[in-house]
Chains A and B, each alone.
Chain A
Amino acid sequence: MNKGHMQRAASGSSSNTWATKLHRVRALVVKETRQVVRDPSSIAIGVVLPLILILLFGYGLSLDVKNVPIALVIEYPGPEAIELAAGFQLSPYFHPTLTRSMPSAQDLLLEHQVDGIVRIPADFSRRVGAGDAGVQLIVHGGDANRARIIEGYVQGVVGAWSARLAAQGRPGQLQPVNVLSRLWFNEANDSSYFLVPGLIVLVMTLIGALLTAMVMAREWERGTLESLLVTPVRSEEILLGKTLPYFALALVGFLLCVLSAKFLFHVPLRGSIWVLFGDSMLYVLVALGIGLLISSWVKNQFVASQLTMLATFMPAFMLSGFLFDLRSMPTWVRLITYALPARYYVALLQSVFLAGNVWSVIVPNTLVLVAMVAMLAFASRLVMHKTLE
């Protein structure tokens, strides 16, 4: 036995050449992979969950407002009132129920049979001639967003009717200024264009963080991590062995998402697939890192699962900017979102899919993700080391 080997043995670590390191990591990866393959729940989260989410996002979620049930109260069927009512009946946005009196319409609103009431008063036809007619609109304000959209639709129907009157030389009004709108990157205003980035960020977050948080905490809870630590395996090798199999699982989820984006949702990929791939892998590393960090810190499966949900899933859903506009949040909430990786990933996904390789968006966001990976790797090692002593 030579002197060098003795020294290494004395310092508590065995030979550290790259070959043996690799060998140990491979053994850990094999062990972890077997665990994944044998547990149906890991496969469920890697394959079934993405599929469920794809279906939900493709066919379930929509913010489009169409066929709004409204009560249309015509108190006196004069010709103008009938004409205006026809505008509502022909509009694809409304599904009107005709009544003659206000109380019955109010009952419908209370029972949630309708979302709003349009009341054309008894003196409507007479006052149109005088130029001061009024239409009353009562909307159910519960869902404020929907209420505002309905209000806009009602204005649209009344405006169109008024323009028709003007065209016939009757007392109507033409709009002085018309707004011509164009939605860049999404000309047809297809809502799946904005849902797909949200879908991908949720899938990647869940696969990345949830699984690792549980595995690591379980080893602590059962005491098997201590047994691992007395072997020659070093802490960064354990972390690597835990990361790689789940990284592969996340890759499967990523491929499912991209394929469905292309062939199911027909969302164009205008940027480079390699940028998309690279950034997604970075994001998975961040998610894995968060899971590992939380679980090596709390060492309790239940607490780890709750913390992971709190730190990853809910923010990815609510604070990433795919559903709610970040710029409209109060400053202190916006500051929180800067600490969340999902925010950067959503910005990247939206640009790479719909706008192309916009380097002014890609470079800064990618750099933040890289920094997060580095910080998380460092922090996980630190936490592991601390708990060893």
Chain B
Amino acid sequence: MRGALLRILALTRKELLAVLKDSRSRMSLLVPPVVQALIFGYAATYDLNHVTYAALDQDHTAASRQLLAGLDGSGVFERVANLQRAADVASLIDARRALLIVQIDPQFERRLLSGRSADIQLIADGRDSNTAGTAMGYVTSIVQQFNSSWGHEHGLAAPPVNIVTRAWYNPNLETRWFMIPGMIGTLTLIQTMMLTAMSVAREREQGTFDQLLVTPFRPFEIMAGKALPSMVVGSIQAAGVLLVAQLWFRIPFAGSYLVLSLGLLLFLLAAVGIGLLLSAVSATMQQAMLYSMLLIMPFSLLSGLTTPLSSMPIAVQYLTAINPLRYAIDITRRVYLEGAGLDLLTADLWPLALLAALSLGAASWMFSHRMQ
């Protein structure tokens, strides 16, 4: 037992040296997660803060100007043009100079003053329908503000019901608070899996795997020696992203580091297990990398990082049960933002443990069978 432990440690040391000795390989493992967390932390947001729009005001009255002033004063909308004719709308949208056109009809103020309701037309560039939809939602809420202040000024009946909203865990509703904790898992998964798969494949490709086999190492020990270094690298990467979230973006950490570590440990075990499985079917580094990509793509797209799991069809939701990243993202978000404890996370923890056990078990079986 002690001998096995020593042999595993020796292999781990050799493996870590092989990866971290080369300065470029060291940089390519330690720098990207932090840099990506920084860039994507700023980039990956559905919140809009700069929407270009053009006004087609055919009313030219105090009321229409008041409505447009609400848009201009929101800090989000930038008026790039004042159109005179409806014919000018197309060229502005086509050339992407304006995302939105706000059109106010000639009878706008007269209708409002006579107690009837008036319409405004909103034309949006649907080439990027997601952004356009969000922007239209912003306009609607600004129009609602206009409505309530208009009603107030002109003695209309107040709305009978006020809605008082509170957002738990993210009071200012910043997408960043949601994205960056999710990235801890995503950014580590990619490199941990590839590192594991490629390190075995490299030995195969260079013929050193056969040399390993004639040493007194048992298959299990070789496997553990390949798994441990990747987990060390993965833990360092996760810690790096966590530091960016806390020290740079100042997102308050509500939970316990112990719970988060336990969740990430299970996640890394599963990721490394899948990496080892891939390495068992790859003869070259190219194959190891391409097969990892084939898994990483669906894993990251179906993880809930950028699009919610609950919007996916039921069949696809069942399919995500074998995606370790899905659980890791849920765990990091809930521990990070909600301070969830182990009792609330069991639904995520046991599938991860099962995935880790299954993938490591299968990998160890394949290792010992391929070797004899």
Q: Which of A24-82 touch B at CB < 8 Å?
A: 39-42, 44-45, 48-49, 52-53, 56-57, 59-67
A141 contacts B168, CB within 8 Å? yes
Q: Is A350 in contact with chain B by the CB < 8 A criterion?
A: yes
B285 contacts A176, CB within 8 Å? no
Give Cα A321–Cα B297 distance, bound, in whole angstroms: 18
What residues of A have a CB within 8 angstroms of the CB of B146 in the complex?
Answer: 176-177
Give Cα A377–Cα B111 distance, bound, in whole angstroms: 63
A302 contacts B157, CB within 8 Å? no
What residues of B have a CB within 8 angstroms of the CB of A305 in the complex?
Answer: 194, 198, 285, 289
Give Cα A325–Cα B131 distance, bound, in whole angstroms: 6
Q: Which of A313-340 touch B at CB < 8 Å?
A: 313-314, 318-319, 321-325, 327-330, 333, 336-337
Which of A142, A144, A303 has a CB less than 8 Å from the CB of B28? A303
Q: Is B291 in contact with chain A by the CB < 8 A criterion?
A: yes
What residues of B have a CB within 8 angstroms of the CB of A102 in the complex?
Answer: none
Task: From known contacts A176-B151, A306-B191, infer whether A314 and B130 are also in contact, taking CB-CB under 8 Å.
Answer: no
Q: Is B150 in contact with chain A by the CB < 8 A criterion?
A: yes
Task: From known contacts A39-B287, A176-B112, A181-B124, infer whether A136 and B164 are also in contact, taking CB-CB under 8 Å.
Answer: yes
Task: From known contacts A186-B129, A301-B286, infer whether A140 and B169 are also in contact, taking CB-CB under 8 Å.
Answer: yes
Task: From known contacts A60-B312, A63-B307, infer whether A178 and B118 are also in contact, taking CB-CB under 8 Å.
Answer: yes
B159 contacts A155, CB within 8 Å? no
Q: Which of A182-206 touch B at CB < 8 Å?
A: 182-187, 189-191, 193-194, 202, 206
A318 contacts B40, CB within 8 Å? yes
Task: From known contacts A62-B312, A306-B32, A327-B52, infer whether A144 and B175 are also in contact, taking CB-CB under 8 Å.
Answer: yes
Q: Is A135 in contact with chain B by the CB < 8 A criterion?
A: yes
Q: Is A232 in contact with chain B by the CB < 8 A criterion?
A: no
A300 contacts B47, CB within 8 Å? no
A131 contacts B168, CB within 8 Å? no
Q: Is B212 in contact with chain A by the CB < 8 A criterion?
A: no
What is the 8 Å Cβ interface bit string for chain A, positions 69-111, against chain B (1 contact, 0 not)? 0000000000000001000000000000000000000000111
Q: Is B140 in contact with chain A by the CB < 8 A criterion?
A: yes
What residues of A have a CB within 8 angstroms of the CB of B350 in the complex?
Answer: none
Q: Is A251 in contact with chain B by the CB < 8 A criterion?
A: no
In angstroms, how far is the closest chain B Cβ from the Cβ of A40? 8
Which of A39, A111, A183, A318 has a CB less than 8 Å from the CB of B129? A183
What residues of B have a CB within 8 angstroms of the CB of A155 in the complex?
Answer: 144, 163
Give Cα A325–Cα B51 distance, bound, in whole angstroms: 10
Give Cα A137–Cα B173 distance, bound, in whole angstroms: 14
A53 contacts B297, CB within 8 Å? yes
A214 contacts B285, CB within 8 Å? yes
Segment among B1-9, B88-96, B256-264, B267-275 that sits at the interface with chain A: B88-96
What is the 8 Å Cβ interface bit string for chain B, positions 290-324, against chain A (1 contact, 0 not)? 11011001100110001110111101100000000
Taking each of B141, B301, B315, which has the highest tally of chain A beta carbons within 10 Å of its own beta carbon? Answer: B301
Which of A57, A110, A354 has a CB less than 8 Å from the CB of B126? A354
Q: Is A174 in contact with chain B by the CB < 8 A criterion?
A: yes
What residues of A have a CB within 8 angstroms of the CB of B99 in the complex?
Answer: 327
What is the 8 Å Cβ interface bit string for chain B, positions 174-211, against chain A (1 contact, 0 not)? 11011000000000001100110010001000000000
Q: Is B214 in contact with chain A by the CB < 8 A criterion?
A: no
What residues of B have a CB within 8 angstroms of the CB of A329 in the complex?
Answer: 42-43, 45
Q: Is A158 in contact with chain B by the CB < 8 A criterion?
A: yes
What is the 8 Å Cβ interface bit string for chain B, positions 45-66, against chain A (1 contact, 0 not)? 1111111100000000000000
What is the 8 Å Cβ interface bit string for chain A, positions 142-185, against chain B (1 contact, 0 not)? 11111111011011001001100110000111111111111111
A358 contacts B43, CB within 8 Å? no
Task: From known contacts A176-B150, A325-B128, infer whether A52 and B162 are also in contact, taking CB-CB under 8 Å.
Answer: no
A173 contacts B122, CB within 8 Å? no
Task: From known contacts A177-B119, A184-B123, infer whether A141 and B173 are also in contact, taking CB-CB under 8 Å.
Answer: yes
What residues of B have a CB within 8 angstroms of the CB of A66 in the complex?
Answer: 311
B126 contacts A151, CB within 8 Å? no
Which of B133, B147, B162, B163 has a CB less than 8 Å from the CB of A175? B147
Task: From known contacts A174-B117, A177-B146, A301-B202, infer whether A193 and B126 are also in contact, taking CB-CB under 8 Å.
Answer: yes
B143 contacts A179, CB within 8 Å? yes
Which of B42, B51, B160, B337 has a CB less than 8 Å from the CB of A173? B160
Q: Is A278 in contact with chain B by the CB < 8 A criterion?
A: no
Give Cα A143–Cα B176 distance, bound, in whole angstroms: 9
Give Cα A177–Cα B44 distance, bound, in whole angstroms: 34
Give Cα A52–Cα B289 distance, bound, in whole angstroms: 17
Which of A41, A158, A172, A303 has a CB less than 8 Å from the CB of B286? A41
A206 contacts B293, CB within 8 Å? yes
Taking each of B45, B133, B160, B334, which has the highest tally of chain A beta carbons within 10 Å of its own beta carbon? Answer: B160
Q: Is B156 in contact with chain A by the CB < 8 A criterion?
A: yes
A354 contacts B156, CB within 8 Å? no
A135 contacts B129, CB within 8 Å? no
Which of B123, B131, B165, B301 has a CB less than 8 Å from the CB of A182? B123
A361 contacts B287, CB within 8 Å? no
Instruction: List the 9 shortest-distance A-B pairs measured between CB atoms, nearest first.
Output: A141-B170, A186-B126, A141-B167, A183-B126, A144-B173, A41-B287, A350-B127, A306-B28, A41-B290
List 4 additional A-B contacts (Cβ < 8 Å) besides A145-B47, A149-B137, A360-B95. A154-B165, A183-B133, A305-B289, A313-B293
What are 27 sample pairs from A and B whose C-beta atoms fall under 8 A apart? A39-B284, A56-B301, A60-B302, A60-B313, A63-B308, A64-B311, A131-B157, A137-B163, A139-B167, A142-B334, A144-B167, A144-B177, A158-B161, A174-B117, A177-B150, A184-B125, A187-B126, A193-B129, A206-B293, A211-B286, A218-B284, A300-B25, A302-B195, A307-B28, A327-B51, A327-B52, A361-B96
Chain A residues packing against B (C-beta within 8 Å): 39-42, 44-45, 48-49, 52-53, 56-57, 59-67, 84, 109-112, 128, 131-149, 151-152, 154-155, 158, 161-162, 165-166, 171-187, 189-191, 193-194, 202, 206, 210-211, 214-215, 218, 298, 300-303, 305-307, 309-310, 313-314, 318-319, 321-325, 327-330, 333, 336-337, 347, 350-351, 354-355, 358, 360-361
Chain B residues packing against A (C-beta within 8 Å): 22, 24-25, 28-29, 32, 36, 39-40, 42-52, 67, 93-96, 99, 112, 117-134, 136-137, 139-141, 143-144, 146-147, 150-151, 156-171, 173-175, 177-178, 190-191, 194-195, 198, 202, 282, 284-287, 289-291, 293-294, 297-298, 301-302, 306-308, 310-313, 315-316, 333-334, 337-338, 344
